[in-house]
Amino acid sequence: MIYLELFIGFLKVGLFSFGGAYAAIPLIRDVVLSYGWLDDEMLTYMIAVSESTPGPIMVNLATYIGTSQAGIIGGMLATFAVVLPAFIIILIVTAIMSKFINNKYVKALISGIMPCVIGIILATGSCMIVKNIFTGFTTAVDIKAVIISVILAGLFFGIKKDGKKLISPIALIAISAVIGMVVNIV
């Protein structure tokens, strides 16, 4: 029964995928290959597609695999399954969070985890910028990527009014797509 398999398979992915999509990819790979839904090459391709389309990567993969295995119902079931654990867990956490957040042990825990998360995010962002410019860490500089980076960073960090950025993150994404098309055609 493919529907049940899709549901259970993606429920597993949704339940055990801690720390964002990239950390979850090994788990997704494991589930997808063990059910034989995609081969390794197709999965790699789909991860690239998920990265270049909007939305959470896990949701994208679930929709794609569900649809390709069992049509729109399969797509819906897989997507529903991958989201369900996060939804339920966050509801519970939110309901009890206000009680927990002022506990001194929780506060001590957060004072370690918070700077760690900030470090992870800053490092991830910096590495992504560097990776794009060097098209890898050892190869030559990609001039077009440098041009795009300078334009985007200038627009985003440079244009300010009353100390606030005028270009919103969504506007930046839209601008970046246009600049990407223009610069790479030339």
Q: Considering only residues 90-109, where is the footprint of another protein by CB under 8 A?
A: 90-91, 93-95, 97, 101, 105, 108-109
Sign of CA dihedral 34, 62, 47, 133: negative
Min separation Cβ 145 and another protein, Å: 6
Question: What number of other Cβ atoms are within 10 A of residue 127's Cβ?
Answer: 11
- The residue whose two tokens read 């957040």 is 101
- Size of the residue set binding another protein (CB under 8 A): 97
31 contacts another protein (rule: CB under 8 A): no
Q: How far is CA 135 from CA 1, 47, 129, 140, 184, in A?
A: 44, 18, 10, 7, 14
143 contacts another protein (rule: CB under 8 A): no
In the stretch 107-126, what mask flags binding to another protein with x, by CB under 8 A?
Answer: -xxxxxxxxxxxxxxxxxxx
Min separation Cβ 178 and another protein, Å: 7
Min separation Cβ 111 and another protein, Å: 5
Question: Rounded to an integer, what distance in angstroms lies between the CA atom of residue 21 and that of residue 56?
Answer: 8
Question: Rounded to an integer, what distance in angstroms lies between the CA atom of residue 96 and that of residue 114?
Answer: 19
Nearer to another protein, 32 or 59 (CB): 59
In the stretch 45-84, what mask flags binding to another protein with x, by CB under 8 A?
Answer: x--xxxxxxxxxxxxx--xx--xx---x--xx--x--xx-
Q: Give the DSSP H or E segment for 165.
A: strand 164-165
